[in-house]
Amino acid sequence: MIETKRLILRPLAPQDEEAFIRGISDDELRRMYGFPAELSADKTRRIFARFSTLPTAYGLVRKTDKVLMGFVLDVAPELPEEVLRSLPKDGRTLAYATFPPYQRQGYMREALSAMIEDHFHSKSTSYIHCGYFPFNERSDALLRSLGFKTIGQHTLGSSTIIDKIRFKA
């Protein structure tokens, strides 16, 4: 668990399921984060079930009212093999989404900043990778403001992912 001034980042829990499903069912969010256009209730439950089994799938929870506002996945680097060969072995990929109506309020900046700090100072991580879809200009701006640099792009299924990386200072 990681705490910030306004947030708690904690493992996803069974009580988060309905808020998670509502959050990823939003049309704009599905488009911005590359989820399929048609997400059935069964499919969203399977996504939640898969995420909630990961010990490093964090719910982004507001301290004041305990509302689930999004998530951050902290996983092994998800980069093409040729890129991974040129990087240290102790990197991580952070994948994230903020649910409407909590976007554009600085919550994800606060969450990612805390996770970066935790990785670079407590977990001896050498670099953090984040990827985003080319049309997600807000994610690009957020990552640039947090010190991430573009290192290339790769495809995931039929989608292009822009890869950004930040090394430990």
Q: At what angle do helices 17-24 and 41-52 cross, to 10 degrees?
A: 120
Structural contact between residues 132 and 162, judged by C-beta atoms closer than 8 angstroms = yes
Per-residue pLDDT, 53: 87
The enclosing domain of 90 has a CATH number of: 3.40.630.30
Distance CA 11, CA 27 (A): 25
Peptide bond between residue 101 and the one before it cis (omega within 30 degrees of 0): yes
Q: In what order do the strands lie in the sheet with 149-156?
A: 2-3, 7-11, 57-62, 68-75, 91-98, 127-132, 159-167, 149-156
Per-residue pLDDT, 44: 79
pLDDT tens-digit readout, 42-83: 877 888 888 888 888 999 999 999 999 999 999 888 888 889
Per-residue pLDDT, 166: 96
CA separation, residue 7 to residues 30, 61, 64, 110, 163 (Å):
23, 6, 8, 8, 26
Whether residue 128 is predicted with pLDDT greater than 90 in this model: the reply is yes
pLDDT tens-digit readout, 129-154: 999 888 889 999 999 999 999 999 98
3-state class of 59 per DSSP?
strand
Tokens 């990612």 -> residue: 112
Per-residue pLDDT, 114: 96
Determine the structural domain holding residue 45 and report its residue range.
2-167
pLDDT tens-digit readout, 13-38: 999 988 988 887 777 666 666 666 67
Give the global pTM. 0.88
Per-residue pLDDT, 90: 92
Q: Give the pLDDT mean for 156-163.
A: 82
Report how many domains make up the chain: 1
